Amino acid sequence: MNGADFLELVRRRYSCRSYRPDPVPEEVLTRCVEALRLAPSACNRQPWRVVLVTAPDLRQQLAAEALLPGISMPWVAQAPAMAALAVRRDWFTHRVAPWFSGVRYDLLDPGIAGEHLVLAAAAEGLGSCWIGWIRPHAVRRILGLPGSFKPLALITLGYPAAEPETRSSRLPVEEVCRRNRWA
Ligand SMILES: Cc1cc2nc3c(=O)[nH]c(=O)nc-3n(C[C@H](O)[C@H](O)[C@H](O)COP(=O)(O)O)c2cc1C
């Protein structure tokens, strides 16, 4: 894959909010998790943990109990697979190092890993959607996560039922990037 192909893949990804019921083949899920596993992290601590949820009862329970109110997300219950992304707290990179730098490596690291998974999913022809509007305690309870794991997001996965009519827009490059110095 060259740079143009990669950019095309990045352009193809969007937050998919309608899924076909077809199950995602096991080998496809395995490749998506492999992409997550290979992500970089501060001091290579690899603090992300992920639970792939395909069991219908657990998916229904997550959709019913682990989403915060206020945003209607009926499509979550349709998605044939879900990745529950959590961070396992690391005393050095998540406590000591941010004390000096003020940088939240505990959020950066799983964010990078989760997006690796999402881009791998796009390369497999899957739709995906990050869901951060969650009740972390409910995710932990439903999926039996240890107390040291903090759930950060659910990522729905599945074959898209329909392409969205419009794509969300992005800021122009001049607004997000400057050369050498900002000002
Ligand atoms: C950390 C994070 C949390 C998000 N949480 C939600 C969510 O709870 N519900 C939802 O429908 N979309 C959620 N999204 C999707 C965003 O709304 C979406 O990425 C953004 O509007 C850009 O659209 P696009 O992904 O289609 O390019 C989330 C995305 C990210 C990265």
Nearest residue (CA) to ligand 1, atom 3 = 132
State if residue 132 touches ligand 1 by the CB under 6 angstroms criterion.
yes
Paired strand residues for 17 = none
Record the tokens describing residue 62, joined without a space. Answer: 């997550």
Chain-centroid distance, C-alpha 45: 18
**What are the pLDDT digits (tens) for 39-65?**
999 999 999 999 999 999 999 999 999
Do residues 151 and 85 lie in contact, with contact meaning Cβ atoms separated by under 8 Å?
yes
Mean of the per-residue pLDDT values of the chain:
96
- The one-letter amino acid code at 41 reads S
- Mean pLDDT (whole number) for 151-157: 98
Q: What percent of the chain has pLDDT over 90?
A: 92
- The one-letter amino acid code at 78 reads Q
Do residues 158 and 20 lie in contact, with contact meaning Cβ atoms separated by under 8 Å?
yes
Rounded-to-integer distance, Cα 73 and Cα 87, Å: 24
Rg (CA), the chain: 17
Do residues 136 and 150 lie in contact, with contact meaning Cβ atoms separated by under 8 Å?
yes
What pLDDT score does 164 carry?
A: 86
Rounded-to-integer distance, Cα 60 and Cα 65, Å: 8
What pLDDT score does 90 carry?
A: 85
What pLDDT score does 163 carry?
A: 85
Query: Given ligand 1 and candidates 14, 107, 130, which is best to mutate, with the most ligand atoms within 8 Å of its CB?
Result: 130
Domains in the chain: ranges and CATH: 15-160 (3.40.109.10)
Do residues 110 and 47 lie in contact, with contact meaning Cβ atoms separated by under 8 Å?
yes
State if residue 75 touches ligand 1 by the CB under 6 angstroms criterion.
no
* Ligand 1 atom with least separation from CA of 168: 23
CB neighbours (10 Å) of residue 85? 25
What pLDDT score does 95 carry?
A: 87
Task: Please state the φ and ψ torsions of residue 53, each to the nearest 5 degrees.
Answer: -110, 115
Nearest residue (CA) to ligand 1, atom 13 = 131
- Mean pLDDT (whole number) for 93-117: 94
Do residues 41 and 113 lie in contact, with contact meaning Cβ atoms separated by under 8 Å?
yes
pTM: 0.97
What pLDDT score does 94 carry?
A: 87
State if residue 15 touches ligand 1 by the CB under 6 angstroms criterion.
yes
